[in-house]
Amino acid sequence: MDDRATQAYHLLEETLHARNVDVAAVRTALKQQEIETPSWGYADSGTRFGVFPQSGAAVTIAEKLADAAQVHKFTGIAPLVATHVLWDLPDDAAVESVPALAASLGVRIGSINPNVFQDREYWMGSFGNRNPAARRKAVDHCLRSVEIGKQLKSGVLTLWFADGTDYPGQSDFRERKRWFQDCLHEVYAAMPDGMTMLVEYKPFEPGLYHTDIADWGMSYVFCRNLGDRARVLVDLGHHLPGTNIEHIVAFLLDEQLLGGFHFNNRKYADDDVMVGSINPYEFFLIYNELVKEELNPRGNPKVEYMVDQGFNTKKKIPGMIQTVLMIQRTYAKALCVDRVRLAEAMGNHDVVAAEQCLLDAFNVDVEPLLRRVRAEMDVPEDPLAAFLSSCYQTGIERDRGIRTGAGGLGQ
């Protein structure tokens, strides 16, 4: 850190001390942060109107891991990579090759993501399909995913279902609920002790009239029935307009049932744009609830922080680094809330002062603090600039060019 950065850091430190923030603890927390990026985030993606393949986009699992490793190399806090069974691990050879590959790149395998929506058998659903053969195939794929998880020493099985219907009358809600329950039970029963099942919810798409696990409440009910290693996965884009997500997060934490996140943001539908890019304050308020649980734990198990975004018009690795920095910044701000003054303001029903505590933390420029933390972690103080001045991006654009075949939503 140069003189100006040091001076800025000390000024910030003084400000934070005056706000009752334990800056040393904040730095420790920031150094322990771990974010999981998705293998498919390095491959092409698009909308139903088309996919524009990007030069240098990853196709193979080796490329995806290499790209993810770049994100970790420059940020220091993204050591985990989510893998997608169908797209990344089509056969035993792929599975076997992954651990050494990941280790050599300095990253670890995070959650295992089965895919039960792409094959033709799933046209009318997977766990909610009236046809027992389709349900069988879907369960078998998930059971295989559990096995892969064991092999890759992954502790997290992430389940998202595209099941739903397009029209009233197309199917029966209750029958489907029971099929779902049965299938989930079979998969849950096969999980080893250390494995957690995360159950994702989503209000619509690809089903245009209903989806079988439409909101956190449905996810909650399925998890409660399964057992204590099943927990709710909150994808930030999977909510109807107006939803108070931080309230749901607090509620699930209190129920000890918050399993993890898919970070992204939405303006209209499930847009999968960068987390915090539409409403960074909402993202801060969500982190504020997570920090409250950290400071005052009531027993919710470890939360998984996963990115799930598409990069349709952004370059993928720079976009992912920008994302990781957005998450880091937001966590830092949430750690900088003056909780003494906030408690006092709440106690006095002083709404102006209480809100201002949050706004003050949100408005603080935490960059000097983050630069200090990065220096201590031995990563570049400005990770995005550092990545861009490395020759990695130009190298992959030159060497890989424009291709297809990565699976994913841009196949």
Q: Which of residues 303-332 bind a second copy (CB under 8 A)?
A: 312-315, 318-319, 322, 326, 329
- The residue among 92 and 166 lying less far from a second copy, judged by its C-beta, is 166
Do the beta carbons of residue 353 and residue 341 sit within 8 Å? yes
Written as six digits, the tokens of 340 are 């003494």
By CB under 8 A, the residues from 257 to 286 that bind a second copy are: 267-269, 271-274, 277-282, 285
Q: Which is nearer to a second copy, 155 or 380 (CB)?
A: 380
Comparing CB distances to a second copy, the nearer of 108 and 341 is: 341
Kindly state the smallest distance separating residue 314's Cβ from a second copy, in Å.
5
C-alpha distances in Å from residue 335, one per residue of 60, 134, 234: 38, 47, 21
Shortest approach of a second copy to residue 174 CB, angstroms?
A: 5
Given a contact cutoff of 8 angstroms between Cβ atoms, the answer to whether 139 and 148 are in contact is no
Residue appearing with tokens 């891991």: 65
Alpha helices of 50-90 — where are they, by DSSP H? Answer: 61-75, 85-88
Residues 101-120 close enough to bind a second copy by CB under 8 A: 117-118, 120
The C-alpha angle 230, 231, 236, rounded to 5 degrees, equals 145
Please, are residues 112 and 156 in contact by the beta-carbon 8 Å criterion?
A: yes
Tokens of 385: 């600039």
Compose the 5-34 pattern: x for residues touching a second copy by CB under 8 A, - for all others.
--xx--x--x--------------------
Of 192, 217, 401, 405, which one interacts with a second copy (CB under 8 A)? 217
List the interface residues with a second copy, window 363-382 (CB under 8 A).
363-365, 367
CB count within 10 Å of CB 68 equals: 29
What element of type H or E holds 230? strand 230-235
CB of 396 to a second copy, least distance (A): 16
Which of 200, 289, 304, 308 touches a second copy by CB under 8 A?
A: 289
Residue 165 engages a second copy in binding (rule: CB under 8 A): yes
Among 22, 140, 166, 399, binds a second copy (CB under 8 A): 166
DSSP assignment of 287-338: HHHHHHHHHS--SPPPPEEEE----SSS-HHHHHHHHHHHHHHHHHHHHT--
Report CA dihedral (139, 141, 146, 151) to the nearest 10 degrees.
Answer: 160
Q: Tokens representing 376?
A: 């201590």
Task: Quote the least distance from Cβ 185 to a second copy, whole Å.
Answer: 16
- Which of 171, 236, 305, 308 lies at the binding interface for a second copy (CB under 8 A)? 171
Measure the CA–CA gap between 271 and 268, rounded to whole angstroms. Answer: 7
Pick between residue 186 and residue 271 the one whose CB is nearest to a second copy: 271
CB of 232 to a second copy, least distance (A): 10
Q: Could you tell me the smallest distance in angstroms from the CB atom of residue 366 to a second copy?
A: 8
Angle formed by the axes of helices 351-363 and 339-347, nearest 10°: 160
Window 39 to 68, contacts with a second copy (CB under 8 A):
46-50, 52
* Nearer CB in complex with a second copy: 32/296: 296
Q: Are 304 and 111 in contact (CB under 8 A)?
A: yes
Q: How far is CA 352 from CA 248, 280, 356, 386, in A?
A: 24, 21, 6, 41
Task: Give, as ranges, the residues between 195 and 214 that touch a second copy (CB under 8 A).
Answer: 203-206, 208-210, 214
Among 332, 358, 373, 406, binds a second copy (CB under 8 A): 358
Stretch that binds a second copy, among 22-30, 68-76, 77-85, 287-295 (CB under 8 A): 287-295
Please give the Cα distance from 79 to 305 (Å, whole number): 11
- What string marks each residue from 222 to 261 as x (binds a second copy by CB under 8 A) or -? ------------------xxxxx-xxx-xx-xxx------
User: Which of 102, 200 has the CB closer to a second copy?
Assistant: 200
Choice between 109 and 336, CB closer to a second copy: 336
